[in-house]
Chain A
């Protein structure tokens, strides 16, 4: 008697959908990628209230030792020598677009007197809104502050 031939199972892993998955991931990364105008490494302060910073806002970054870099939001940031240069930079930006927002990206351990001079320069340049860049404060952060 002849037995019915057994159906052979394909031992390979099906890879036909691999490209689809990969392309989905590519699309995700392409959509989420944002080219930062300022790559200064700072430890941002943490806040509970956080609003979205407008795209193309001008950036002013201040490191812990008071080094300042500025960017009008269009190109990569450049270092400036001090708050006097921030005033001339901000005045130029405001002259081009009076409603331009400024983003202050400062280390949480910067002595406040540096920030004071930068904010003063922005006020004198007639800037309207500043965003203080921050990270999300979590419940753990509050716990560690209290204890």
Chain B
């Protein structure tokens, strides 16, 4: 008489592995958010009891009026004309302060546009705007008047 032996499968069952893996994928796809993790850096002045005294006439003042209109040293100007205006001035004095002053009625996006334009000076025109200042209203009240 021939005995029939039960054969035990020696392999690890891997057929459900793909199902488990795809479930994990779906979990990560649903929970993942592509966060914006880049931006413009803006160094604040160091803690200094004696801020450098700069005459208003010695700096370039970019005013952002309501609606995003730009006035550079009392002259209305388009955003893409600013760097051309600044180039000769900064060639004479590379440390000349460039002051961005958003006025009442302007939006954050307008300030960022101007700041970004100044930061692109090196790529666009081959010079660097080293001294960008964005004074706050308190500082203006305190130091300008």
**Which A residues fall within an 8 A CB radius of B?**
15, 18-19, 22-23, 25-26, 29-30, 32-34, 36, 39, 44-45, 47-53, 62, 103-104, 106-117, 119-120, 122-123, 126-137
Contact = CB atoms under 8 A, between A and B. Distances in A.
Give 3 closest A-B pairs by Cβ, nearest first.
A108-B109, A22-B21, A29-B28
A132 B112 contact: yes
Contact of B36 (A19, A30, A44, A110): A44
B108 A110 contact: yes
A51 B40 contact: yes
A106 B43 contact: no
Given A26-B24, A48-B120, 18 more contacts: A18-B21, A19-B14, A22-B21, A25-B21, A36-B33, A50-B39, A51-B40, A53-B38, A53-B39, A104-B39, A106-B108, A108-B107, A111-B105, A111-B108, A130-B42, A131-B40, A132-B41, A134-B38
B112 A128 contact: no
B110 interface: yes
Chain B interface helix/strand/loop/mixed = mixed
10 contacts: A22-B18, A22-B25, A32-B32, A53-B37, A106-B108, A108-B108, A120-B137, A122-B44, A126-B47, A134-B40
A5 B43 CA distance: 80
Interface of B: 14, 17-18, 21-22, 24-25, 28-29, 31-47, 64, 102, 104-113, 115-116, 119-120, 123, 134, 136-139
A128 B43 contact: yes
A107 B108 CA distance: 7
Contacts, number: 145
Contacts of A49: 40, 116, 119-120
A116 B108 CA distance: 9
Contacts of B123: 48
A104 B134 CA distance: 15
A123 B136 contact: yes
B112 A19 contact: no
